[in-house]
Chains A and B, each alone.
Chain A
Amino acid sequence: MSFLQKIGVVPNLEKQPEHDECAIENVSRRSFIKGAGMTGASLVIGVQFSANSLAASKSDEFSPDVFISMDKKGTVTVISHRSEMGQGIRSSLPLLIADEMECDWERVVVEQAIGDAKYGSQNTDGSRSVRRFYVRLKQAGATARTMLQQAAAQVWKVDVDQVTIYNHQAKLNNSNKTLDFAQLGEIAASLPVPDKETLKLKTEAEHRYVGKENMENLDGKAIVTGKAIFGFDVEVTGMKYAVIARPPVVFGKVKSLDDSEAMKVPGVIKIIQMPALSPPAVFNMLGGVAVIAENTWAAIEARKKLKIEWDHGANASYNTKSHEAVFKKALQNPPHTVRNRGDWEQAKSAANKTLTQDYYVAGLAHATMEPPAATAIVTDKGVDVWTCTQTPQSAQRNAMGVMQYPQERAKDVNIHVTLLGGGFGRKSKPDYIAEAVFLAKETGMPIKVQWTREDEIKHGYYHSPSYQRLSATFDKKGAATGWYHSMVNHPIAATFNPNAKQAGSAELGQADMPYDLPNIKILNGESDTFMRIGWVRSVTNINNAFAACSFADEMAYHAGQDPKDYLLQLIGKDQHIDLAKDGYQYGNYGEQASVFPVDTARLKNVIKLVANKAGWGKKLAKGHGMGIAAHRSFCGYIATVVEVSTDNGKVKLENITYAVDSGKVINPDRVRSQMEGAAIFSTSLAFYGEITADNGIVEQGNFHDYEMARMSQIPDIEVHIVNSDEPPAGVGEPGVPPFAPALCNAIFAATGNRYRRLPLKQFGIV
């Protein structure tokens, strides 16, 4: 389920199957595998993950999500249907298959899938790739291994249990006879797929690659030699370069255009007015004026010379700073109660003391190092697009929309997925792909649309600024009796439905908070929206966790207790929290509570682990302070300790420690790298991240005014992974939310100053 579906703006067509539900078929003889790079293969196994898979496997409608194929030399190709943006998925998913299939990793290659419904959902967001596919990919690998084992048994005319499969070879037990996979492919291809119930999946102990260190990153060599192809690097014959002057205010329109000076720039070919955008924004083109040129430089220079008079439209009324007062007012009496336990009002009137604080987190841009880019060719036969996208299928739908193609022409729209120079959620919004297709269609030329950094910062799908109020009640003995959290922002839903006003999303770290208090009230306020709002790595967990984890720390100081001990006490007993009891239907990242409960024991465990590893409670140098925060998101449990020093009023990061329980781990090094990256992503947002608009126009434009953390600011980062047998949880996003509160808690410990607003830059301390 995508975030859009979760927040109810897109119907959830993609019912999630049980975790082990899938259909696996021997498709070596099927025609559709041609064109998927599979010609010349001897054995091809298809896996279908969709909900109707079991029924479909018995009909001709079988449409595999993942192919495993082997050519006559025994080289195994795995098609990766997920997008690679640095999280290592192109290595991790095939690793799982190769291990279970008993491949020699050196003889496995990965091919990137094009965008096609046959792969099931390819939407690479929500930290779900491993979470969703772990068991099913193991089954796919085991299927291939079993068929190769059966093939060898056939050759040697023995029982299958006389054959051992190891490292790309079949071995006849008690003999020196071996057969390479290459010799077995053709025979295996003629065999039926074994019943899933008969498959013997490897145990954790039998894994040779999964969970092991030193697994090579597939794209590593291409990256360090500059040969890796990102969306920006695509080159097709006859290609022209486009940059677009987009309306400074969302839903603004071109009132008048004088392009005479721009047309004089050498290399400029054409200037084209884009169709204006009207609400809802969805993933549609923003409009404006496109410059098409022989090279990027000419296009950029000519764009500067366009004389455009804009009709800014209704959103020109928006000013981020003054809207803060509107947010604050919206929290006076927020209309939406999301979760309710006990009686908060009663707790408040009975309280000996009530602690209340407001928190504000600024809006954020994705700032992927590679801005959006797409290259399109349109002919009467159809459309080809090469692009860095997290979601090739919505890219395909978007392209079809521009072309006004009926559904049956989906096969004529090929989305070729390149590597992504960062994603963070920006590249699951394919507005830039629509632009490329539109311009290729209008000009009849192959067009590469490139967003400059200014375009990316000024025309994003922003993480909304948010205003939050936290309250806690205490009885006479000082024990906490109640928790209140209200939040208002510009909801993501407004990008899809202009009438959506309720803040979102409570289920990302607000309503699913784990503190076991008798009275709990979680509310959302309402606001209008004036920009495109979208999901940014970990989404509203960013602000919800900042407020909730900061406030827990405030409660600890209020109670005069150690923040770590207090946190464990707030979380309370070991339990699977039943949020339905509090009248709250929790989305749980699209996962079933039976498989991925909200497990307080696991949360407490990472808190204890991180505290232990970071040396919590030890004597610190003068001016140093340590802060802790813990947060569950995307079904993963993360605790972070940050140690800072202060010198001359400036804060410096000294140590960063993470403890992670994300269930079973395929590739521990990539889990560590995701946590390291999350800490640094969070440093940027906590120190500097602030998108503001005046008259509806975004005021930032490049890395001088939308700053990023630099190397000198980042100490070494220690990551400790809990050895777990639980199903794999999300990893790409959950490292982000606990960092900023741990940092601010550390600053408080060091200085006594509590910072309830991000970014910290505004206080002159970073």
Chain B
Amino acid sequence: MKARVIVTLKNGVLDPQGKAIEGALGGLGFDDVGSVRQGKVFDVELSGSDKDAAKAELEQMCEKLLANTVIENYAIEIA
């Protein structure tokens, strides 16, 4: 089973890297860019076939390691 975990910064947390990318896009002539927030994507392969169990396990992975919940949110997608 394939799953994708998307980790993004919480609203209100300053993202200097996103800001720098935003500036660089502007410099390339992409004038309509309002803002950019940078995040992370993890593609995880799991051996089981129970989607609910996998989702629960992925949530644990996010809480324990993949995300720092002080500053980040996470979303889980299972194919």
Do A and B associate with each other?
no
Chain B residues packing against A (C-beta within 8 Å): none
